[in-house]
Amino acid sequence: MKRGSKIEMKEIKGRVGEKLFFQQKPRSRVKKDIVNEIQNYIDRAPRFGSPFIIDYLSLQKRDEEYYLLRDYNNGLPREVPISGVFNGDDISLAQRVEWGLQIARAGEAAEVQNHLWPGLNDMCLRLTDDNKIKILPPEIVRVLGQYRPDIQPLIPRENYTPPEIIEGSSWTTEGVLYSWGVLLYFLVTGAAPFSVHTKADTYDKILTSSFIDPCYMNPNISKRLNRFIKKLLFRNPKQRYHSWQKARADLEKLCSRNGYQADNSTVRKNTRRRKFIRGYTAVRDRILFSIKRHWKPLTAVLVMVFLMVMLNFMTGETEYITDETPPGEVVAVFYEGLQEKDEEKIKASGVTDLQELEVFLSEAYIMEQMRRQSEGLPLGVRGMYDLEEEDMVFGLRNLEIEQLENEEEPLFRGEYVFFLNPNGEQQSEAMEDILLLEKEKGIWQITEVWGSFEKLLSGELNLEKGVD
């Protein structure tokens, strides 16, 4: 693990002195305001007495420089900012979770003193020579960020803002635990749960969108750790943890017997599904963000889609397949359903095990209905060629269906190119399925599908750019 530059310390009258300003120094008036604000915090803040929290005792001026002072115990501390250490690849999951647990212990020590940490983030973290986390008070970090090269964010700071704070509420324990959840997400995945180009868009995602499960960012994360982090990041504060003590205790239990580590089969499953989930999320976010800027047309589209669904429900299901439908047409209906995001067509063909694809189909259909509205096309019309490829979330091209020789039951081969449009760059792959049909209650149904469609369902699909 590579180490960054150590924080410069000096002994001042039996205390550890840490220079307040490093390189860029504020103007005298601004400096005075910063010094007063930090001194006021030090005067108000309790002494936590935790090995994971830095307790600043006073602020003194010496040789025209200001120093933050703390207790002098067994020599000068040897600390580096987490930003000088965290390059992700060479840090074990066990170490990352342990750091998260140390932060929770610090949070519990603050909780005992009835002290909230508004704005907890990665800039508050330092690491000692023995890999122990130290927390700098977020209140001090907030005012020093632009004057200290060691206090720099690893991910955009707005990621740590709970939804209720964005909406104007005050900080609570649940809000601080949300910030810790973001920090834990980052520590175990190396990525931010919500991060886009602007602060406003990040806030929009926090309020309205969902993040990729940590286990799909890092396949080694167990289901238990995945659920734990998601609970910390619930949009509704009532659904989160309500105390550091409870959250810390649950994480400690999870850490016993390596409960944070996924078993081999779960790692393989997470790895298979990762690209599909991440690709789908990219598509969804790109389209929804572009449409949210026109909320009135969006509302109209959603209302019309809802009315069409209700009308279809009241008038009964369309009979896509009857006892007179030959097996070849059943296969065609299946692929039409996939192209048109029509779950009913897919189920009518006999294929019912859609897994993650059910959500993908329904959300993609609504997105494409929004696209129809923006292009002036009629809503609620499903068809193979209503939208241009670049406006579709995903689709098929060059579909060919061929019946294979089989003495027992009809067997078909479907060949096509499957394409996905994440972030404006189309990805595609040549696909091939083998489909077996049998009669059920006098109707031909697809009972087995082998090949590429299986990979699509399980997330194993390896899309490459530019497949013709």
Domain shared by 229 and 326, yes or no:
no
What are 274-312's pLDDT values in tens digits? 876 776 677 666 656 655 554 455 555 555 555 544 444
Note whether residue 191 is domain-resident. yes
Domain shared by 453 and 395, yes or no:
yes
What are 410-454's pLDDT values in tens digits? 999 999 998 877 555 677 888 999 999 999 889 999 988 888 887
Q: How does residue 371 score in pLDDT terms, banded at 50, 70 and 90?
A: low
Q: How does residue 354 score in pLDDT terms, banded at 50, 70 and 90?
A: low
Can you tell me the distance from the alpha carbon of 70 to that of 131, in angstroms, rounded to the nearest whole number? 20
pLDDT of amino acid 308: 47
Domain shared by 14 and 102, yes or no:
yes
pLDDT of amino acid 338: 87
Which has more confidence, 214 or 196? 214
pLDDT of amino acid 135: 94
Domain shared by 112 and 189, yes or no:
yes
Question: Mapping DSSP to helix (H, G, I), strand (E, B) and coil, where does residue 444 land?
Answer: strand
Q: How does residue 374 score in pLDDT terms, banded at 50, 70 and 90?
A: low
What are 92-111's pLDDT values in tens digits? 999 999 999 999 999 999 99
Question: Tell me, what DSSP letter sits at residue 433?
Answer: E
Is the pLDDT at 113 greater than 50? The verdict is yes
Q: How does residue 384 score in pLDDT terms, banded at 50, 70 and 90?
A: very low
Domain shared by 117 and 239, yes or no:
yes
Number of domains in the chain: 2
What does pLDDT average to over the chain? Answer: 82
Q: How many CB atoms lie within 10 A of CB 152?
A: 13
Note whether residue 278 is domain-resident. no
Is the pLDDT at 227 greater than 50? The verdict is yes
Domain shared by 86 and 200, yes or no:
yes
Tokens of 57: 């005792």
Tokens of 169: 């509420």
Q: How does residue 226 score in pLDDT terms, banded at 50, 70 and 90?
A: very high
Is the pLDDT at 262 greater than 80? The verdict is yes
Q: How does residue 375 score in pLDDT terms, banded at 50, 70 and 90?
A: low
Kindly report the CATH number assigned to the domain that includes residue 457: 3.10.450
pLDDT of amino acid 185: 96
pLDDT of amino acid 295: 47
Token look-up 């359903």 returns 337
- Phi, psi (rounded to 5 degrees) for 448: -140, 140
Domain shared by 218 and 291, yes or no:
no
User: How many helices (H) and strands (E) are present in the chain, helices listed first?
Assistant: 15, 12
Domain shared by 228 and 310, yes or no:
no
pLDDT of amino acid 170: 94
Is the pLDDT at 459 greater than 50? The verdict is yes
- Across the range 229-248, mean pLDDT stands at 94
Q: How does residue 355 score in pLDDT terms, banded at 50, 70 and 90?
A: low
Domain shared by 257 and 290, yes or no:
no
Note whether residue 269 is domain-resident. no
Domain shared by 296 and 229, yes or no:
no
Q: How many CA atoms lie within 13 A of 188 on its CB side?
A: 30
Can you tell me the distance from the alpha carbon of 235 to that of 121, in angstroms, rounded to the nearest whole number? 18
Note whether residue 274 is domain-resident. no
pLDDT of amino acid 199: 87
Domain shared by 109 and 186, yes or no:
yes
Domain shared by 337 and 433, yes or no:
yes
Q: Are 339 and 364 in contact (CB under 8 A)?
A: no
Q: Phi-psi bin for 450: left (phi > 0), alpha (psi -120 to 50), beta?
A: beta
Note whether residue 78 is domain-resident. yes
Q: How does residue 224 score in pLDDT terms, banded at 50, 70 and 90?
A: very high
Is the pLDDT at 466 greater than 70? The verdict is no
What are 24-35's pLDDT values in tens digits? 666 777 888 889
Q: Whole-model pTM?
A: 0.67
Range of the domain at 406: 286-465
